[in-house]
Amino acid sequence: MRTQVGIVGAGPAGLMLSHLLRLRGIESIIIERRTRDAIEATIRAGVLEQGTVDLMTETGVGERLKREGFVHQGFEIRFSGRSHRINLYELTGGRTITIYAQHEVLKDLIKARLDAGGQILFGVEVTGVDEVQSDAPKIRFTQDGKAEELVSDFVAGCDGSYGVCRKQIPEDIRREYFRNYPLGWFGILAKAPPSSDELIYTNHERGFVLISTRSPHVQRLYFQCDPNDSVENWSDDRVWEELETRMAGGDFRLKQGEIFQKGIIPLRSFVCEPMQYGKLYLAGDAAHSVPPTGAKGLNLAVADVHVLARAIGSYYSSNATDLLETYSATALRRVWRAQFFSYWMTSMLHRFHDAPEFDHRRQLAELDLVTSSPAAQTVLAQNYVGLPLG
């Protein structure tokens, strides 16, 4: 098998890349370990930056998003029992975020690729990526028990945090930056109406809470937990009681309903540098992860492939390699900005239980600053809605 760009992974990065390449007349084949059903059913994040929404709209995959997504012009930060609104729209000159679940984005991209005759091989295990320093890198995989290979001009490693692609960058060249937090998020989906018109990020002495939403009938709520805790320890009653305690105060009322999904996510930060080696280009979680507090994961993946599609496009249209050579540096600038922002939101909003009381007082001063100083609010808002894609 041969194509121009071999893509490992049908997540947000791989699918969006394949879609953007097609618009430039460039062929690609995606190889994905999981089945289409599994991908389309996995619950992940739900916040799209303005730049992600604009890109989807401009490239013809924004129709359902426009119909079914929820535009939010602000969000709330809550501490000491009171909520404070961050007016994203006013602070950023009219930019907003949209609530639209990641798996809905994936459904739209998969449909667009298949409708356009694109090839996605689902349920196929990649066993290796070879000769990435040559002009004909190869992706090796097993399909129906048979060993196959895909030869291409470029390989895009979009295979997530645990994929094989990143490891193709030799250890003496690859640098990995990690930060683990002593924090987990317990996430639930509940059949209930929204408790709030906008997202609420809460710092409570028992720990963080995020009130998010999916639809008028389904709510997405998270609360800080021990990353090593287990879902079995949390009955529905205990979950609601903990959420009620952490959200108490003022006139906020939590609307309860049947919990139909529970899960625990550990929080971590990770960056791999460089994001390119030979003809292998990493994008999305294959190169970096962020804690969910900044709502940046999917948006960063989209931003990476926006840069990569342009670089590959300029290679095929005018034989230019300058954008390919600067891909890693260009992408990493945004990645590190998002790392900073996600770390900031995480450290400001969570309760670090073994930290001295001094840290808690300092945190309250920081929360007071970002909810009362227009300058600080502007920095927060600009980073939350995201940098323009350029």
Supply the residues annotated as catalytic: 72, 201, 292, 296, 384
Q: Does 184 bind ligand PHB (CB under 6 A)?
A: no
- Whole-number CA gyration radius for the chain: 21
Using the rule CB under 6 A, which residue among 138, 220, 246, 279 binds ligand PHB?
220
- Give the residue with the Cβ less far from ligand PHB, 88 or 164: 88
Per-position DSSP letters for 265-283, written without gaps between them? EEEEEEEEE-SEETTEEE-
Q: How many CB atoms lie within 10 A of CB 31?
A: 26
Span interacting with ligand PHB, options 246-254, 282-290, 292-300, 359-367, rule CB under 6 A: 292-300
Total interface residues for ligand PHB by CB under 6 A: 10
CA–CA distance, 119 with 82 (Å, rounded to integer): 51
Residues in 191-210 that interact with ligand PHB by CB under 6 A? 199, 210
CA–CA distance, 28 with 368 (Å, rounded to integer): 50
Using the rule CB under 6 A, which residue among 9, 46, 207, 313 binds ligand PHB?
46
Using the rule CB under 6 A, which residue among 18, 50, 152, 212 binds ligand PHB?
212
Please state the closest distance from residue 47 (CB atom) to ligand PHB, in A: 5
Q: Does 97 bind ligand PHB (CB under 6 A)?
A: no
Using the rule CB under 6 A, which residue among 293, 339, 346, 377 binds ligand PHB?
293
The answer to whether 302 and 13 have CB atoms below 8 angstroms apart is yes
* Angle at the Cα of 186 from the Cα atoms of 183 and 192, rounded to 5 degrees: 150
The answer to whether 148 and 141 have CB atoms below 8 angstroms apart is yes
Q: Where are the alpha helices (DSSP H) in the chain?
A: 12-23, 36-41, 50-58, 63-68, 88-91, 102-115, 236-247, 297-318, 322-325, 327-349, 357-372, 374-385
Q: Does 105 bind ligand PHB (CB under 6 A)?
A: no
Q: Does 78 bind ligand PHB (CB under 6 A)?
A: no
Q: Does 211 bind ligand PHB (CB under 6 A)?
A: no
Q: Does 289 bind ligand PHB (CB under 6 A)?
A: no
Please state the closest distance from residue 250 (CB atom) to ligand PHB, in A: 21
Please state the closest distance from residue 214 (CB atom) to ligand PHB, in A: 7
- Give the residue with the Cβ less far from ligand PHB, 85 or 174: 85
Distance of CA 198 to the CA centre of its chain: 19
Please state the closest distance from residue 129 (CB atom) to ligand PHB, in A: 31
Q: What share of the chain is helix, strand, coil (3-state, %, to 5)?
A: 40, 30, 30
The answer to whether 383 and 88 have CB atoms below 8 angstroms apart is no
Span interacting with ligand PHB, options 54-62, 247-255, 267-275, 289-297, rule CB under 6 A: 289-297
Q: Which residue has the closest beta carbon to ligand PHB?
A: 212
Please state the closest distance from residue 101 (CB atom) to ligand PHB, in A: 8
Most distant CA atoms of the chain, gap in Å: 64
Using the rule CB under 6 A, which residue among 292, 306, 334, 341 binds ligand PHB?
292
- Give the residue with the Cβ less far from ligand PHB, 22 or 220: 220
Find, among 41, 51, 108, 97, the residue nearest to 74 by Cα. Answer: 97
Q: What residues make contact with ligand PHB under the rule CB under 6 A?
A: 45-47, 199, 210, 212, 220, 292-293, 295
